[in-house]
Structure 1
Amino acid sequence: MNKQYSVEIQSMVYEGGGFSRLPDGKAVFVPYVMPGEQVTIQIREDKKGFALADLVSVDRLHPQRIQPRCAHFGICGGCHYQHIPYELQVAYKKDILIEQLQRIGGIESPVIEAVIPSSNEWAYRNTVQFQVSSKGKLCYAKARDNFPFAVRECHLPMPALAQLWPQLTFEPESFIGRLDLRQNQNGDVLLEMNGNQSEIPELESESSVSIVSLAGDDQVVLAGDGYLIAEVLGRPFLISAGSFFQTNYSGAEALINQVLALVREYKPQRLLDVYSGVGLFSAFLAGEVDELLAVESSPAACRDFVVNLDEFDTVSLAEGLAEKILPELDFSADVVLVDPPRSGLRPQAREAILNQGARAIIYVSCNPATLARDVRAILEAGYRLEKTILVDMFPQTYHMETVALFLI
């Protein structure tokens, strides 16, 4: 049995845990805690420079600790902060963003100009993803080992999804794969089955939904349409099965408003939108510039982009990986907008963006660690970090969005 210790939690850290130190000074990270709590922990993994621990008991509670809403909290890997009041969740995320920019980004005194909370603490996710087991059960992944477990409840999906998913049943062994559900503001639902489309499972549900079976870029529409129409800031967006879209509609609107305000402030003539997706930002920015070029690698998202931006003659799209397209690109932008995946900018893409020499770079990030890593490289290229805004789109979790403005 691994040794137990009593430690005091000093701060929250990125990826959902609390930070403390063992008696020998080694850093230790503990989940489901709050700063100031005295806790008993058991070492789970003892690594060279730090240790990971399981929480055994909370012996001195934070005065604002609350009861988690979900029975799966502490087992499920989806939520990390249900024991923390939402106002404190946002405050901790701000502290974490500052720490990442200091420690990884090399900024001595980062300033967060604004923190925008989510309009909904619960029932905000327009997309939810399950793994279907060999027994036909809808599963999430466990926090500790990522193994699937059968889900009985979840409080994050929007109402139509929350009503639908418990009704979904599969015959054992009929479908083993990933199940994605997405809804729009009208309650329309698109169900995507990611598996072997030659074996279509029988779906038993009383709800009327669009159903698509996906295998790579190939898809078969089994019922309804192969897409949803979602509305953001009064503008409709076609989102096909397989395309990425922001998971919180009100959070997406907050991001757009922040980016749009920055673009209007600097009035560029030519804008480069890298990792454009279905055109969420481009659709609002195209009318602000003389020319816009978007770069996107997902074939499904590119098809949606063409539909969503069809009204603009000044917009063009380059399909392919950013690190492949950007070094060969013959396009000089005044402002570059990037919204990369969690892994951040790949070195080749980052170098090509910096070689653009744009007056401004607007970086939308869903990972403060990779943002901070890229911040250091951007600053070393001669830019300065002018503005940083935190947009919380993921209550009950450690995830956050950041909008960072760099000027040269």
Structure 2
Amino acid sequence: MTEIVQIKMEKLVYGGDCLGRLPDGRAVFVPFVLPGEIVKIEIVDEKQRFARAIPIEIIEESPDRITPRCIHFGECGGCQYQNLDYAKQLKAKEAIVRDQFERIGKFVDPPIKPIVPSPSLWNYRNTVQFQIGKGGELGYIHADGEHLLPIYECHLPQAMINDLWPQIELGADPGLYRLGIRQDTYENLMLILEGEDKTPPEFSLDIPVSAVYTPPEDRLTVLAGDDHLTYEILNRDFQVSARSFFQVNTKMAEKMVRFLLEHIKLEANTRAVELYAGVGLFSAFIAEKVGHLTAIESSGAACHDFAVNLDEFDNVVLYEAEAEEVLPSLNLSPDVLIADPPRSGLAPAVHDAIAALQPEQIIYISCDPATLARDLKKITRKGYRLVSATPFDLFPQTAHVETIVLMSRIDN
């Protein structure tokens, strides 16, 4: 039986939903509504201590509510905040980072710095990934997380990506489950086709773009053009292959690099370690300022790009392996350790190895404030203090937020 209730929403929380309270006192999480709004909701998932619901009718709107730009807002799982003015988005993200530090990390009055805004609120993404339906239609995952939502417009990708994707016609049963499109600094485009079959599909497009086919657990096939693009960050070019990760907001990546260079103590005799080094975005700027840099990265494609991007340096050692495999065996005493792990955060073995190495400074870069707060709680128990945490808004209109944390050994 469908349960409809009317409640007043309280605050935006981690993940993009808004928190309210049911008549029995349980927390209920509702998407696409704002704090202060009185809303009729339908309960869709009930647990003993909380519930999830969808909005049925907004009885009283928040004065902060604005008209979303996209026709898919409210159904698409990509954006959560298009109905909120950008200044209020920033305040919400800053508050969410603080909340995670206090609730999960147990930090009292954590040193959260003002969030760094994005210079572009729309059309900032240099990459986008479409899921592909059985009829060949392009879409994103629906906000319910259960099915594909065909997409007819999207305001987050850069202009050339948005010009290209509506022209793509795959036909029924194309043998693909995902299509990625990237745009680099020099206005080159790449299509990344993903399918289960080892044999690439037939491909033709009357547009000069690069294209690759990447089956899981097998080598990629170049269908057209090159197997990589080139991104410029602070006057330095970075090769990024189809299977390598790169920050989706190029201008904000530059702001993050500048922040690190301004806040990390780097000298000619500094010994630095970088975990999850990727294609060398941070390493390339650190290597020119330190005596020695040890980088660790598990992706073979990213390691290939790293070697190209840092070929000029002879003070850099790169390990292609998981951080938990290499870090415990390193025979060095680093001054600075930088970690930019995946959303899941640091493995237990990495925590133990960091505690054993005892670097003077730790810089933790995270895209997930919950796992970040969890990891920082563990690190501070090993003799470190939290110096600052600065959120960066790499993802306007969404609930996602990047954070750079500076930590120092207590004896310093």
Question: TM-score by structure 1 length?
Answer: 0.97
1:158 and 1:257 map into 2 onto residues whose CA distance is: 23
* Matching residue of 2:385: 384
* Matching residue of 1:356: 357
SS in 1 for 2:20: strand
1:21 and 1:304 map into 2 onto residues whose CA distance is: 50
Q: Deviations over 1:2-53 (max 9, x none)?
A: 2111111111100001111111111111111111111111111111211111
TM-fit CA distance, 1:175: 2.2
TM-fit CA distance, 1:196: 4.1
Q: Deviations over 1:132-188 (max 9, x none)?
A: 222111121111033112211111000110111111111312322211111112221
The one-letter code of the counterpart of 1:292 is L
1:227-238 matches, within 5 Å, as 227-238=228-239
1:170-209 matches, within 5 Å, as 170-196=170-196, 198-203=198-203, 205-209=205-209
Contact in 1 for aligned 2:269/2:292 (Cα 8 Å): no
The one-letter code of the counterpart of 1:71 is I
* Matching residue of 1:269: 270
TM-fit CA distance, 1:330: 2.0
* Range that drifts further, 192-201 or 41-50: 192-201
1:4-403 matches, within 5 Å, as 4-196=4-196, 198-203=198-203, 205-215=205-215, 216-264=217-265, 269-403=270-404
* Range that drifts further, 357-366 or 251-260: 251-260
SS in 1 for 2:169: coil
Contact in 2 for aligned 1:169/1:205 (Cα 8 Å): no
1:203 and 1:152 map into 2 onto residues whose CA distance is: 23
Contact in 2 for aligned 1:77/1:143 (Cα 8 Å): yes
In angstroms, what is the RMSD of aligned CA positions? 1.4
Contact in 2 for aligned 1:169/1:204 (Cα 8 Å): no
Q: Deviations over 1:89-133 (max 9, x none)?
A: 111000000000000001111122231101111000001001222
TM-fit CA distance, 1:195: 1.4
TM-fit CA distance, 1:273: 0.4
Relative distance call for 1:278 and 1:51 in structure 2 (3 A) is same
Gaps of 5+ in 2: none
* Range that drifts further, 325-334 or 375-384: 325-334
1:90 and 1:252 map into 2 onto residues whose CA distance is: 17
Contact in 1 for aligned 2:132/2:178 (Cα 8 Å): yes
1:174 and 1:94 map into 2 onto residues whose CA distance is: 43
2:261 and 2:227 map into 1 onto residues whose CA distance is: 30
* Matching residue of 1:405: 406
Contact in 1 for aligned 2:198/2:218 (Cα 8 Å): no
SS in 2 for 1:288: coil
Aligned residue pair count: 408
Relative distance call for 1:268 and 1:9 in structure 2 (3 A) is farther
Contact in 2 for aligned 1:197/1:213 (Cα 8 Å): no
* Range that drifts further, 89-98 or 181-190: 181-190
2:145 and 2:197 map into 1 onto residues whose CA distance is: 29
The one-letter code of the counterpart of 1:261 is E
Gaps of 5+ in 1: none
SS in 2 for 1:353: helix
Contact in 2 for aligned 1:387/1:405 (Cα 8 Å): yes
TM-fit CA distance, 1:248: 0.3
1:33 and 1:295 map into 2 onto residues whose CA distance is: 42
Relative distance call for 1:288 and 1:266 in structure 2 (3 A) is closer
TM-fit CA distance, 1:197: 5.5
2:164 and 2:224 map into 1 onto residues whose CA distance is: 15
